[in-house]
Structure 1
Amino acid sequence: MSILGSRSASRDIDVDRALATVSAMVRQDTRTQTPQESSAVLWVRDQLDELKLDTYLVPAAGDRLNAVGIWRGSGGGPSLMFNGHVDTNPVTEGWTRDPWGGEVDDGHIYGLGVSNMKAGCAAYLEAIRALRDDGWRPSGDVILTFVVGELQNGIGTRAVLDAGHRADHFVNCEPTDLTALTTHAGAVMFRVQLVGSTRHMSKREESADALAAAGRLLPLINGMSFSGAADRDARGTNRAHIGSLRAGLGRGLLQTRPPQVADVAELQGSARFGPGQNAETVLAELREVTSQVCVNGIAGTVEQLTDGGPTLDQPFRADRDSLVVRAVNDAYGQLRGSTQPTGAIQPYCYYGSDASLLQHVGDMPGIVCGPGGKFNTMPDERVSVEDYLDAIRLYAMTTTRICG
């Protein structure tokens, strides 16, 4: 069977079909929490039906939908789940390509969400199609999950798990440029509010300037690491970042009186932390740093932010000696003739991903490995054609190793 043979034979896949699949997914506008978000899920459902898999639509938070396809094994072998999300970030300024064009040019596939993470989803769909075309049959079940709501604390994957779908191993296909991510951060969103007292600029020496205090606090938070990391990989995931700063008059942050000293400032950000650390200790350390600017009439509070839904802030960690990690490592080595970078690989280890849900809620061992990453969530987002095609081969080889 060609996909299982020598290194040259394993490269024998239907390239035109594979590129058509990822382009078709990109051409669908699936910006997260929009009415059309599930369009790619319905398209995938039709593809799974064509492959004669057992196919399910799993609702998530109302009208949002996930697709699950199960290739039933003959029995006796381990099962494997592939997981990825089809919802995308918003469009930003600076695009020179059609965000929904699905163009292939100069060795790349372009489009909104192609890196994060429609190329990964298309790759495991095409891997299973290639194996079926090749006549291979699994002994353990192969489960393909295509979810929405990853950007809202993984509500799509939660719904799939709540519906009872499980496997012995999983591959989450978030973009890692095909490196093997075995540790990534947990995440906590937070808001800092600083309150001082206002004066007209003519008497600003008498004020407690909340905006100036926020300016001093921002680099302190952005430079933070946290205590209690389990090991070097865990320490390597530590990072805090302020992404929003507003200031003005009163709790409403009125901004129509610039001659006045701002008496309230709000900073919003996210902190990332590794195994051995947790959200509570991270928030405590953020409060300690904030206290350093709470002098001369400035008071400060730090609170965790949620969107009102379920949260999971735990880090992800895989055993490097587990079957799925070794299978992915071995497939990469056969494809590229080199050792696959494995561990808390930066910058990918700062991700939050559904791998954390699959591990901590689904109680499954797994790995994060997918095409894309270098040009992730940016104007003219794109994925290398070579990496996309190698992801298909890698997923097919991993499937035969685990489920054969």
Structure 2
Amino acid sequence: MTAKEKIYKWIEENREEVTGLLQKLIQAPSVNPYFDEETIYMKEGDAQRVLEAYLKDMGMTTEYTYPDAKKLASYEGKPGYYADHTFEDRPNLYAELKGTGGGRSIMLSGHIDVVQRGSKWTQDPFGGKIIGNRLYGRGAVDMKGGIAAMTCAVKAIQESGMKLKGDIRIGTVVDEEAGGMGTLALVAEGYRADGCLITEPTHLKIAPLCRGILWGKLTIEGRAGHIELKQGDFRTGGAVDAIDKASLYLEQFRRLNKEWSVAKEHKYLPIPCQIHIAQFQAGEYPTTFANRAELTFNAQYLPSEKDENGLGSKVKKEIEEFVKHVALTDAWLTDNQPKVEWLIDADCGETLDDQPFFKTVRDSARKVNPDSVVEGICCHTDMGWFCNVGIPTLNIGPGDPRLAHQADEFIEIEELLTCTKMIASIVMDWCGAEENS
């Protein structure tokens, strides 16, 4: 039996260890306080302490660090920095297992925070219940399942009598679900490795990039007037329906998306970047033309489009210019220019396919799961800052990402175990290993 076969055998024989760790993590609720849940659920520190105990039992050295907006003030204007975020009992956890020497180091990273539990659950969102081959709970997919898989992958290597040559570093961070200040702090504190694997849910796909995400709000002014009466020209005091003007933008965004579907595609992404209207708010009374319309939108951008700060200012400018151009086609909008307000700019990252880490991850993963395809992540992950400081980074994790943030979020146990094997294979091939003497 080969070394890897021994590791895979340990994972199969100790599947309850893998699922048990995930259950304990889910049972320590860690809702990001951004979502304004009851105080009882705002304890990212509790989940970190569950993981720390497990890592210490494995013989890893551990330490907590706390993001601090004042200490990170030099990063203002860069990805992940928010001056108003606070971190009481919201620590990052860093752990390390030294290798024997002569190998490459790897960082295994993931975020410990989860979104709000939400409504319409039929299972306890913090129960971690197993029904058949499914394990339920908030964070089962996004992304405590990935954290359990990467942690147990390292333990499986240890328990199978292997000693890694390169160092293993584990960094679990807070605040990913509200902007990524945890990863910013981890990187700013100087934690590094020769390669980084983020175990966000990818359904076992190999993801060498994630897109940047912009949230914006377009405000279009109108002029109220009685909706049942004939209105004259706006220049002589007539009403202007903001909903009608907003419909012009809806039509023009559809046109722009056709252009973006060609100009903003990537060989490793299943869909191109687009602008999607997520919210439409307008009007005050059923008898009055809307005097204002607000369109909240989501726009994505590629790693090749990010600016010198690693953000999407170039795409912001492109959208702002588009809004101005559309306004010039309408007399009212020309005189009453719509305004764009930017709400979120979540950064992106990419590791090119000619890099050694990409090739090792791809080939090692496929030794376990030949069906794993290379496909980028269409939403945001924390990989941007690792890439920014020169650490090649890829995402591989268990779970269908479409189940993230849903009621009755669940992970398939067999997929969780397969991913644990994949991560163990990657770690072995990247770090190098030898039999314990």
Fold conserved between structures, TM > 0.5: yes
- Asked if 1:370 is matched to 2:397, the reply is yes
User: How far does residue 6 in structure 1 lie from its aligned partner after superposition?
Assistant: 7.5
Does the 8 Å CA contact 1:79/1:167 hold for their aligned counterparts?
yes
Unpaired runs of at least 5, structure 1: 249-254
User: How far does residue 106 in structure 1 lie from its aligned partner after superposition?
Assistant: 2.5
Once residues 219 and 365 of structure 1 are traced to their aligned partners in structure 2, the CA distance between those partners, rounded to angstroms, is: 40
- Residue-by-residue CA offset, 1:100-144 (whole Å, 9 max, x unaligned): 111111211111111111100111111111112222222111111
Q: Pick closer, same or farther for the CA change 1:199–1:320 going to 2, 3 Å.
A: same
Q: Pick closer, same or farther for the CA change 1:179–1:200 going to 2, 3 Å.
A: same
User: How far does residue 229 in structure 1 lie from its aligned partner after superposition?
Assistant: 4.4
Aligned AA (1:62): F
Which residue of structure 1 aligns with residue 294 of structure 2?
266
> Which residue, 227, 230, 240 being the options, matches 2:275?
240
- Residue-by-residue CA offset, 1:250-295 (whole Å, 9 max, x unaligned): xxxxx4x332222112222221111332423322332344343672
Unpaired runs of at least 5, structure 2: 34-38, 68-85, 232-237, 307-311, 433-437
- Residue-by-residue CA offset, 1:160-203 (whole Å, 9 max, x unaligned): 11221100000011111010012221122211111111112123
Does the 8 Å CA contact 1:283/1:302 hold for their aligned counterparts?
no
Q: Pick closer, same or farther for the CA change 1:331–1:9 going to 2, 3 Å.
A: farther
Aligned residues: 386
> Which residue, 47, 50, 55 being the options, matches 1:48?
55
Look up the SS of the partner of 1:116 in the other structure.
coil
| Bigger Cα displacement from structure 2, 21-30 vs 294-303 | 294-303
- Asked if 1:57 is matched to 2:64, the reply is yes
User: How far does residue 239 in structure 1 lie from its aligned partner after superposition?
Assistant: 2.2
> Which residue, 305, 319, 323 being the options, matches 2:352?
319
Q: If the length of structure 1 is used for normalisation, what is the TM-score?
A: 0.88
Output the aligned Cα RMSD.
2.5
- Asked if 1:190 is matched to 2:190, the reply is no
Q: Pick closer, same or farther for the CA change 1:211–1:19 going to 2, 3 Å.
A: same
Which residue of structure 2 aligns with residue 396 of structure 1?
424
Report 1:224-303 matches (<5 A): 224=257, 226=260, 229=264, 232-233=267-268, 236-248=271-283, 255=284, 257-278=285-306, 279-291=312-324, 292=326, 295-298=330-333, 299-303=337-341
Once residues 107 and 393 of structure 1 are traced to their aligned partners in structure 2, the CA distance between those partners, rounded to angstroms, is: 17
Report 1:4-403 matches (<5 A): 4-5=4-5, 9=9, 12-33=12-33, 35-60=42-67, 61-63=86-88, 64-203=90-229, 205=231, 206-218=238-250, 220-221=252-253, 224=257, 226=260, 229=264, 232-233=267-268, 236-248=271-283, 255=284, 257-278=285-306, 279-291=312-324, 292=326, 295-298=330-333, 299-306=337-344, 313=347, 315-336=348-369, 338-344=370-376, 349-360=377-388, 362-372=389-399, 373-403=401-431
Q: If the length of structure 2 is used for normalisation, what is the TM-score?
A: 0.81
Look up the SS of the partner of 2:313 in the other structure.
helix
Once residues 239 and 109 of structure 1 are traced to their aligned partners in structure 2, the CA distance between those partners, rounded to angstroms, is: 34
Does the 8 Å CA contact 1:239/1:350 hold for their aligned counterparts?
no
Q: Pick closer, same or farther for the CA change 1:3–1:303 going to 2, 3 Å.
A: farther
Once residues 319 and 55 of structure 1 are traced to their aligned partners in structure 2, the CA distance between those partners, rounded to angstroms, is: 32
Once residues 267 and 364 of structure 2 are traced to their aligned partners in structure 1, the CA distance between those partners, rounded to angstroms, is: 26
Q: Pick closer, same or farther for the CA change 1:204–1:59 going to 2, 3 Å.
A: farther
Does the 8 Å CA contact 1:75/1:139 hold for their aligned counterparts?
yes
